[in-house]
């Protein structure tokens, strides 16, 4: 198959020294896939003239489209613009529309412009300018030897705006490609190799146009089918996706490519139910995951983060006796936490967690990774004990995943 | 300068289609820098034989060390091991130590082993095996034409364990390199170009061994100095770092390369003070940032997330009157939230926030991006009104950054 392929080049020393995690490439990959363009490689290079130059030359040989992000700021460490100017044999000129944009932004914030702000409006005369509705640095569109180059700022919000307003429509106009289709299920409760064993025959039966991938996470595994067809061939991915789901119905959290919190949010919205959390070891993380989703106020009411035992007793009204007898990390404590927060915040469902996520705080009896979860509505309470062996961060993620899954099972049981 | 350089290659379609954000490369970059090795490029390629092969050949030409992560799982989409076996002309054999490791892990979880689990212990006979203390997939160490190759699993926790136990000590033994030194300050309250204007002369005065970089974030800018010296030359970075700090003392949140929550945590620990939060729009995010840090129980007591106004009134005891008269997003409301949570959870300091982070919920009076923050101790309350124009996610981050900065200013004032 001869597909349109793209390379994403991100520029900045901060990506190489580990000071910043690159989220732009993932976003661009998803956006390009949706219009049928395959990202062949993602490359990060430092703010070094030769490294950027050589990468451009290499990628021009292997990809049809090259998208470059970063290095367009107003400061001296940003060298992408002069480099592209030279690479495409241009001269820097002021772009009037870009200048107006910069001036408007400064007027809006009531700030005086300095020299480096004017320079933001400079662009090579060999490019088509991509205006930036969300910031001061304009983007650039070059063409050379049949290859297309786009240069965008590294600030995710600005980059995304320009991808949506200019680059995706432009590429859609020029290339007729069948979209690359992805179908994903998220499973909880079965390890990667056991899952593979269970769907071995299914995997063997897949046509060459469909690939299966396993994406293990914190106590979850996502399974992804990807189909890329020749133009004018009919998609069969949904047929295989249904088969896959029928093989493992009991462990699927969601069959959409959404996060687990999003799946829970949709479930609550469909049932028109509200939720609150009582969190000890997760320290607000579960509440944060739910409220990171736009429109969370329709189902999420609040949370009591009882990191210190005094908060468990004084705000969540967990009996001093319970904590003394069974400990803060116990089935008895999380049951009281769940039931009480249900009353205090007055919601339909509650999640409560208490555990030891590490690195310290474990005991022979309750080693690091011991977590108790309770989910409850007014009549039913379900609990689960977990023993994780990850690090603190992944223990926290796994706790949230399991808490959401236990809640899903309770909601399913209630009907 | 002729430095030891490395390339990091991450393997997996999930990185190219945007389903997973690559955090491994950043971690590896930081680890290698600490022993003086510069990461020249980071490349992500899909689970495609030719793409991986070609990338290996290219990178072998330009880098001294090639670190490969991912594609070592037990399932059919994982092709890194057979590919490296072929690339280095080997034969797959069972490694006894790796097999024992797999068997022990399965025994520990009391699970039967299936065929694919045994295959995990297979390795090319042309490599030195890197044992995996945190999972079933062993790593591999190859050498060819003076270049060093390491292959590691993509699971961050396993990869990190093997880097620390084997690769970093191995590289330190073989290369004498001066560490690449980084010094970073985090500032809040001045835009990138104004900051640049303010330190223009400083920037010009830097020797060629030191580079300055600007890393803008959500209403913050980090400034990073990086020094890489020839062996036996004396470091001068701290001298310049002090100069930099003297130019902008009032806007620096921290002069360590740590996150803002970590800086606040250290400040609270130094002063031996405790904290709680009362969060509306941030929905537990600030509590989560504080409790993501190991040992948070020494200063963080808890949080009341009052997303719904009923929780503000019934749990946080904000007067119905206040919300009716001034609105939930108002100075009056956040002051009551801060003062009340201080009493309810009984701590030294409190952070309270209420705002509209978007995309919906704005009004002409209080557009999306309007946020009120209050910080308080028993005698002083400070407030700040903010108007952000980012998306929901970045508005939330900017809110947290400003809340932490306002708290820092209060703690400084108290002394």
pLDDT digits (tens, 9 = 90+) for B221-280: 999 999 988 777 899 999 999 999 999 998 999 999 899 999 999 999 999 999 999 999
Name the minimum distance, in Å, from the CA of B144 to any CA of chain A: 23
Q: Which two tokens stand for residue B346?
A: 């009984």
Cα–Cα distance, A411 to B134 (Å, whole number): 35
Cα–Cα distance, A66 to A56 (Å, whole number): 8
Which residue from B123, B122, B130, B121 is spatially nearest to B148, judged by alpha carbons?
B130
- Chain B CB contacts of A157 under 8 Å are 390-391, 394
A326, A301 Cβ separation under 8 angstroms: no
Q: Which two tokens stand for residue A21?
A: 């995690």
Of A268-277, A370-379, B110-119, B403-412, the poorest mean pLDDT is in B110-119
**For chain B, what percent of residues have pLDDT higher than 90?**
77
Q: Which two tokens stand for residue B392?
A: 């929901």
Question: Does A232 have pLDDT greater than 80?
Answer: no
Question: Does B109 have pLDDT greater than 80?
Answer: no
CATH 3.30.70.2860 fits B181-254, yes or no: yes
Cα–Cα distance, B234 to B314 (Å, whole number): 62
Cα–Cα distance, B211 to A8 (Å, whole number): 25
Whole-prediction pTM? 0.85
pLDDT digits (tens, 9 = 90+) for A114-150: 888 888 999 999 999 999 998 899 999 999 999 999 9
Q: Which two tokens stand for residue B271?
A: 């002063």
- The kind and range of the H/E element at A245 are helix A237-247
Architecture per CATH, domain B260-414, reads as: Alpha-Beta Complex (3.90)
Domain B5-174 has what CATH class? alpha beta
Cα–Cα distance, A333 to A337 (Å, whole number): 6
A251, A187 Cβ separation under 8 angstroms: yes
SS3 A100: helix
Compare all CA atoms of chain B with the CA of A196 and give the residue at the minimum distance.
Answer: B75
For the residues of A102-137, what is the DSSP string, one character each?
HHHHHHHTT----HHHHHTTEEETTSEEE--TTSSP
Helix axes A392-414, A260-271, angle to 10 degrees: 20
Cα–Cα distance, B255 to B258 (Å, whole number): 8
Q: Which two tokens stand for residue B121?
A: 């212990």
Which residue from A23, A269, A385, A111 is spatially nearest to B19, judged by alpha carbons?
A23
Q: Which two tokens stand for residue B97?
A: 């130590």
Question: Chain B interface, mutation test: which of A213, A260, A358, most B Cβ atoms within 10 Å?
Answer: A213
Question: Does B1 have pLDDT greater than 70?
Answer: no
Cα–Cα distance, B116 to B30 (Å, whole number): 34
Q: Which two tokens stand for residue B375?
A: 């910080």
Q: Between the CA of residue A308 and those of A314, A399, B52, what are the distances in Å? A: 10, 19, 50
- Contact flag B17-A30 (C-beta cutoff 8 Å): yes
- Chain A CB contacts of B21 under 8 Å are 21-23, 26
Q: What angle do CA B131, B136, B137 make, to 5 degrees?
A: 65
Q: Which two tokens stand for residue A115?
A: 């020299």
CB-closest option in B76, B288, B294 to A285: B288
Name the minimum distance, in Å, from the CA of B354 to any CA of chain A: 13
Name the minimum distance, in Å, from the CA of B412 to any CA of chain A: 26
Handedness of CA A399, A401, A406, A411 (dihedral sign): positive
Beta-carbon contacts of B50 under 8 Å, excluding residues fewer than 6 positions away, are none
Compare all CA atoms of chain B with the CA of A276 and give the residue at the minimum distance.
Answer: B305
Interface pTM, i.e. ipTM: 0.84
- The kind and range of the H/E element at A16 are helix A13-16
- Contact flag A302-B315 (C-beta cutoff 8 Å): yes
Give the pLDDT band (50/70/90) at residue A2.
low
Q: Between the CA of residue B181 and those of B35, B229, B234, what are the distances in Å? A: 10, 9, 12
B320 or A23, which is more confident: B320
Question: Does A1 have pLDDT greater than 70?
Answer: no
**For chain A, what percent of residues have pLDDT higher than 90?**
77
Tokens 């025994």 locate to B107
Of B215-219, B290-294, B354-358, the poorest mean pLDDT is in B215-219
pLDDT digits (tens, 9 = 90+) for A302-344: 999 999 999 999 999 999 999 999 999 999 999 999 999 999 9
pLDDT digits (tens, 9 = 90+) for A35-65: 989 899 999 999 899 999 999 999 999 999 9
Torsion, Cα B290 B294 B296 B298, to 10 degrees, reads -160
Name the minimum distance, in Å, from the CA of B246 to any CA of chain A: 20
pLDDT digits (tens, 9 = 90+) for B40-85: 999 999 989 999 999 999 999 999 999 999 999 877 778 999 999 9
Task: Tell me what the mean pLDDT of segment B91-108 comes to.
Answer: 92
CB-closest option in B27, B286, B307 to A297: B307
What average pLDDT is seen over chain A?
93
Question: Chain B interface, mutation test: which of A17, A65, A278, most B Cβ atoms within 10 Å?
Answer: A17
Name the minimum distance, in Å, from the CA of A185 to any CA of chain B: 12
Domain boundaries, chain A: 5-174, 181-254, 260-414
How many Cβ atoms from other residues are within 10 Å of residue B411's Cβ? 20
Compare all CA atoms of chain B with the CA of A184 and give the residue at the minimum distance.
Answer: B19
Give the pLDDT band (50/70/90) at residue A20.
confident
- Contact flag B196-A396 (C-beta cutoff 8 Å): no
């Amino acid at each position: 198959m001869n597909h349109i392929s793209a390379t994403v080049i991100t520029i900045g020393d901060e990506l190489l020294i580990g000071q910043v995690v690159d989220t732009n490439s993932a976003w661009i990959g998803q956006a390009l896939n949706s219009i049928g363009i395959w990202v062949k490689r993602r490359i990060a290079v430092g703010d070094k003239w030769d490294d950027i130059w050589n990468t451009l030359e290499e990628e021009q040989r292997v990809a049809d489209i090259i998208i470059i992000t970063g290095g367009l700021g107003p400061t001296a460490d940003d060298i992408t613009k002069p480099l592209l100017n030279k690479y495409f044999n241009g001269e820097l000129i002021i772009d009037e529309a870009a200048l107006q944009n910069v001036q408007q932004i400064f007027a809006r914030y009531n700030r005086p412009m300095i020299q480096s702000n004017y320079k933001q409006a400079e662009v090579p005369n060999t490019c088509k300018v991509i205006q930036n509705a969300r910031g001061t640095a304009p983007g650039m569109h070059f063409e050379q030897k049949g290859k297309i180059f786009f240069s965008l700022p590294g600030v995710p919000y600005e980059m995304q705006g320009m991808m949506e307003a200019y680059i995706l429509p432009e590429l859609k106009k020029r290339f007729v490609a069948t979209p690359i289709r992805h179908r994903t299920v998220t499973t909880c409760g079965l390890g990667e190799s056991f899952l593979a064993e269970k769907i071995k025959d299914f995997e063997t039966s897949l046509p060459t146009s469909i690939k299966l991938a396993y994406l293990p996470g914190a106590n979850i595994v996502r399974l992804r089918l990807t189909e890329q067809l020749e133009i004018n061939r009919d998609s069969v991915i949904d047929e295989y996706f249904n088969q896959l789901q029928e093989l493992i119905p009991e462990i699927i959290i969601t069959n959409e490519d959404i996060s687990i919190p999003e799946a829970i949010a949709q479930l609550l919205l469909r049932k028109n139910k509200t939720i609150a959390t009582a969190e000890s070891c997760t320290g607000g993380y579960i509440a944060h995951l739910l409220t990171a989703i736009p429109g969370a106020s329709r189902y999420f009411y609040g949370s009591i983060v009882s990191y210190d035992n005094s908060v468990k007793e004084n705000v969540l009204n967990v009996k001093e006796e319970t904590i003394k007898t069974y400990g803060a990390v116990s089935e008895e404590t999380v049951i009281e936490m769940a039931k009480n927060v249900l009353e205090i915040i007055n919601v339909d469902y509650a999640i409560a967690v208490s555990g030891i996520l590490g690195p310290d705080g474990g005991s022979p009896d309750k080693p690091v990774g011991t977590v108790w979860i309770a989910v409850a509505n007014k009549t039913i309470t379900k609990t689960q004990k977990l023993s994780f062996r990850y690090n603190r961060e992944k223990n926290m993620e796994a706790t949230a995943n399991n808490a959401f899954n236990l809640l899903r099972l309770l909601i399913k049981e209630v009907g």
